[in-house]
Amino acid sequence: MDGELGHVIYAIGLTADFRKRPFDTVDAHVSLLARLLQRCRFESWLYLSSTRVYAGLGKSQVTEDDAILVPPGPDSLYNLSKLMGESLCLTLPNPAIRVARLSNVYGKGMSPDNFLGSVLSDLRRQGRVTVNEAPESGKDYVGIEDVCTLLQAISAGGKERLYNVASGRSLSHKLLLERICALTGFSADYAVGAPIRTFPLVDVSRARHEFDYRPRHLFDTVGGLLTECGIPRQAGDDL
């Protein structure tokens, strides 16, 4: 490819539909990445991976330096392909090629295919939601504004090759839904026998120390998110 691309953020990938599109998943996460890295000239390259690669490690907290074991199988295709993409980037002896592992990003325009997006979509359409995971389940959510600010900083001059981009805190479905229902007057319940799904805490000290990264917490910003997503809040609520 002719021309200097400057600072590249490689955000091409699949998420919820990776099981239905396995060849597209591998192409997006690995094959296309390899072709572009070979052909393009750039000032820096930032490959967007996912903190989902930490799932199943059995640890209470994970860092960028943890060894990751992923058994092969249909549900592992996403993680394995992301790790292959990461490995390709980190194998190349160019310190300007870096990797960012993103947690659950939230903001206006979220896809209804992810958990929070599906919850807000159901609330918008019918004023109630039934959650298919136990209330004790939880996720690490990070706002799109915090993500974009940090990715730009990493791309422009990160000192490391690999960074976690997360909030560093987990928010349970119970606390999140209680907060949303208190703000909107809507209702939420949980499917009988729903499984508990939790992930280890994602350490973000590397980004915090280098960039003074201090992400906001979804619990504190969910009111603004509801407004952005067109979900009415109760009269008199100014939180």
Kindly state the tokens that stand for 204. 């973000």
Q: How confident is the model at residue 214 (pLDDT cuts 50, 70, 90)?
A: very high
Give the separation between CA 78 and CA 19, rounded to whole angstroms.
Answer: 8
How far lies 152's CA from each of 91, 156, 207, in Å? 22, 6, 12
Give the separation between CA 215 and CA 204, rounded to whole angstroms.
Answer: 10
Question: Any idea which of 31-40, 120-129, 157-166 has the lowest mean pLDDT?
Answer: 120-129
pLDDT surpassing 70 at residue 3:
no
How far lies 61's CA from each of 56, 58, 64, 167, in Å? 12, 9, 11, 13
- Please report the pLDDT score of residue 132 as a whole number: 95
Place of tokens 């952005």: 228
pLDDT surpassing 80 at residue 235:
no
pLDDT surpassing 90 at residue 196:
yes
- Please report the pLDDT score of residue 9 as a whole number: 98
Give the separation between CA 94 and CA 46, rounded to whole angstroms.
Answer: 12
pLDDT surpassing 60 at residue 1:
no
> Once rounded to an integer, what is the mean pLDDT over residues 180-200?
94
Round the CA-based radius of gyration of the chain to a whole number and report it: 19
Report the candidate in 122, 121, 129 with the shortest Cα–Cα distance to residue 229. 121
Q: What is the pTM of this model?
A: 0.94
Domain spanning 7-228 has what CATH number? 3.40.50.720
In the chain, pLDDT over 70 holds for what percent of residues? 97
**Bridge-based pairing state of the strands 128-131 and 104-106:** unpaired
pLDDT surpassing 60 at residue 148:
yes
Give the separation between CA 52 and CA 15, rounded to whole angstroms.
Answer: 10
Contact 119, 224 (CB under 8 A): no
Domain boundaries, the chain: 7-228
pLDDT surpassing 80 at residue 237:
no
Q: How confident is the model at residue 56 (pLDDT cuts 50, 70, 90)?
A: confident
- Please report the pLDDT score of residue 113 as a whole number: 86
- Please report the pLDDT score of residue 236 as a whole number: 56
Give the separation between CA 164 and CA 185, rounded to whole angstroms.
Answer: 35
